[in-house]
């Protein structure tokens, strides 16, 4: 039987493993952390490109994923949500909609009176909003239902060790920020993101605001009785422990936009490392022993947004290698 091993159990690894298993391949997933402990678990998660390297393939990957998410909108973990993105901008800034709105239909500029305090420009849009804890469970179940083997916990110090541990003719590397050490690929830089999960005081629309600096992010993503509050974008910071002062600052910044969040009831803190790279690495290479390694990592702040498009392409490269 044709066999492939996927390294990584985040949104990229699971989506890729599903594409392969549903194509009739015997798939194993090896991962240092299970889905619930990955960066993918910390995502908000809104469909829309953000903090991703410039790459002509990004719009197509995003579009493929958008179509897949639309097909899932009957499920509890994904819905098309309306909301607002706002920019503080500088005095000289031209009011251009931020990258997050690229590919979203019906983006409309807000009247000055509707722009929240602290911001100069704002736009309304609708986009799929995904609840990651439920979505990762769904992906995991779908992978197992398609015949995938139970996830094996394994932390590999190198690609050679991963290839040896996998023992399959094709290995797909979906290690996210772990690729920095695993490949090793110094081009992969973490952008640390901390979020607060709070009881939802009745927020129905999402909000994403960028301050004077692009890393100065304020956002809130409502998921039923919970709301995910963010956030940070700390370049080169590998710390995965939540920082209490940062959490306080996040709540205060969100409450400045949405006063109902003052004194928010905190349910959980999460931290993830966005795997930024100048360009997503999605390509095949041949290891010394003849094993094909398909790389699928470096999705930055857009891993959920690009997941299905990249998974399809990575699975296609793996199938080509098996057929050779």
Residue ranges binding ligand FAD (CB under 6 A): 7-13, 31-33, 38-40, 42-46, 154-156, 174-178, 182, 193, 195, 230-231, 272, 274-275, 297, 299-305
Q: Which residue has the tokens 């909108």?
A: 73
Distance (Å, whole) CA 224 – CA 209:
21
Q: Which is nearer to ligand FAD, 92 or 295 (CB)?
A: 295
Terminal Cα distance for the chain, rounded: 15
Alpha helices in 126-243 (DSSP H): 132-145, 159-166, 179-182
> Nearest approach, Cβ of 201 to ligand FAD (angstroms)?
21
> Nearest approach, Cβ of 323 to ligand FAD (angstroms)?
26
Question: For residues 86 and 116, is the Cβ–Cβ distance under 8 A?
Answer: yes
> Nearest approach, Cβ of 73 to ligand FAD (angstroms)?
16
Q: Which is nearer to ligand FAD, 9 or 261 (CB)?
A: 9
Q: Which is nearer to ligand FAD, 83 or 231 (CB)?
A: 231
> Nearest approach, Cβ of 22 to ligand FAD (angstroms)?
18
Question: For residues 116 and 209, is the Cβ–Cβ distance under 8 A?
Answer: yes
Distance (Å, whole) CA 119 – CA 116:
6
> Nearest approach, Cβ of 48 to ligand FAD (angstroms)?
7
Q: Which is nearer to ligand FAD, 24 or 214 (CB)?
A: 214
Quote the DSSP letter at residue 108. Answer: E
Q: Cα 284 vs. chain centroid, distance in angstroms? A: 22
Omega before residue 231 within 30° of 0, cis = yes
Q: Which is nearer to ligand FAD, 25 or 132 (CB)?
A: 132
């Amino acid at each position: 039987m044709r066999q492939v091993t996927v390294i990584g159990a985040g949104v990229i690894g699971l989506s890729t493993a599903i594409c392969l298993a549903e194509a009739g391949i015997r798939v194993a997933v090896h991962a240092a952390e299970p889905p619930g402990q990955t960066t993918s678990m910390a995502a908000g998660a809104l469909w829309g490109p953000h903090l991703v390297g410039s790459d002509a393939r990004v719009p197509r990957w995003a579009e493929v994923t958008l179509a897949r998410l639309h097909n899932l909108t009957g499920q509890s973990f994904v819905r098309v949500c309306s909301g607002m993105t706002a920019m503080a901008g500088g005095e000289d800034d031209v009011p251009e909609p931020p990258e997050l709105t690229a590919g979203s239909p019906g983006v409309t500029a807000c009247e000055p009176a509707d722009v929240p305090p602290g911001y100069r420009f704002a736009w309304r849009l609708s986009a799929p909003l995904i609840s990651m804890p439920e979505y990762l469970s769904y992906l995991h179940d779908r992978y197992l239902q398609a015949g995938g083997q139970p996830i094996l916990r394994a932390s590999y110090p190198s690609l050679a060790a991963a290839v040896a541990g996998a023992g399959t003719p094709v290995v797909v590397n979906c290690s996210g920020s772990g690729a920095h050490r695993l490949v090793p690929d110094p081009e992969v830089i973490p952008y640390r993101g901390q979020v607060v999960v709070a009881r939802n005081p009745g927020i129905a629309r999402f909000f994403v605001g960028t301050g004077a600096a692009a890393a100065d992010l304020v956002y809130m993503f409502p998921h039923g009785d919970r709301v995910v509050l963010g956030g940070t974008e700390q370049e080169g910071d590998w710390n995965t422990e939540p920082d209490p002062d940062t959490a306080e600052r996040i709540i205060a910044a969100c409450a400045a936009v949405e006063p109902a969040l003052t004194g928010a009831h905190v349910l959980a803190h999460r931290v993830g490392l966005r795997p930024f790279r100048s360009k997503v690495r999605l390509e095949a290479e041949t290891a010394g022993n003849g094993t094909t390694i398909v790389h699928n990592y470096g999705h930055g702040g857009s891993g959920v947004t690009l997941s299905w498009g990249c998974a399809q392409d990575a699975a296609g490269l793996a199938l080509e290698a098996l057929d050779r």
